[in-house]
Amino acid sequence: MQSGKILRQRYKIIHSLGSGGFGDTYLAEDLDLPGKPKCVVKHLSPKIPDPGVLTIAQRLFEREAETLYKLVQDSDQIPKLFAHFQEGTEFYLVQEYIEGQDISQELTPGKKLSESYTIALLKGILSALETAHQNNIIHRDIKPQNLMRRKSDNKIVLIDFGAVKEISVLTTANQQG
């Protein structure tokens, strides 16, 4: 998606943030709000024009949107969901932009972490995970790149819920299988 493209006459793409299992992620600005705050637009466009693939993609997209909406009610360590929509065969999630850096930027290969840093980091991660687990959600993709340290308050924010699994779904499947 090109810089400058406007989605839904509201979200203006600034630049790409990267690609992942869910699709492409972009930094954008919300043209409808004062100050045009930054936001994140996740774009899923199934590459195979198969109706079955489209149905699966739509289900995954809806699941991530529902999960995010449910979780942000309980935690400031999960990015807020501002909008989700579909245009043709393409799906979009609009989320809060977390200004900061991912934890991988704080880690140096071969360098030992101090005990105090490690304890503080784990407490931050566990606090974010606690909200997910209280809502019967398993993240399934915990890695330094999905853990952001928010610049404004230094809190750990858990991002990228594209691979989540609801525990109730797993439990039901295990009982039936």
Q: What is the pLDDT of residues 50-93, one digit of tens each?
A: 778 778 878 878 887 888 888 877 789 999 999 999 888 888 99
Position 175 scores a pLDDT of: 45
CA diameter of the chain: 53
Q: What is the pLDDT of residues 93-102, one digit of tens each?
A: 999 999 999 9
Per the annotation, the verdict on 141 as an active-site residue is: yes
104 CB neighbour count, 10 Å cutoff: 11
Overall average pLDDT of the 129-136 stretch: 86
This prediction's pTM: 0.81
Pull the structure tokens for residue 98.
């977390």
pLDDT grade for 172, boundaries at 50, 70 and 90: very low
Task: Provide the percentage of residues in the chain whose pLDDT is more than 90.
Answer: 52
Enumerate the H helices of the chain as residue ranges.
Answer: 51-72, 115-134, 167-176
- Work out the mean pLDDT of the chain and round it to a whole number: 86
Q: How far is Cα 8 from Cα 103, in angstroms, rounded to an integer?
A: 33
Q: What is the torsion angle, in degrees rounded to the nearest 10, for the CA atoms of residue 3, residue 26, residue 29 and residue 11?
A: 80
Domains in the chain (CATH in brackets) are 6-176 (1.10.510.10)
Position 165 scores a pLDDT of: 55
SS3 161: coil
Overall average pLDDT of the 135-156 stretch: 91
Q: Residues 32, 50, 141, 153: which is the catalytic one?
A: 141
The secondary element (H helix, E strand) that includes residue 3 is none
Task: Confirm if 137 and 37 have CB atoms less than 8 A apart.
Answer: no
Position 44 scores a pLDDT of: 83
State yes or no: pLDDT of 106 exceeds 90.
Answer: yes
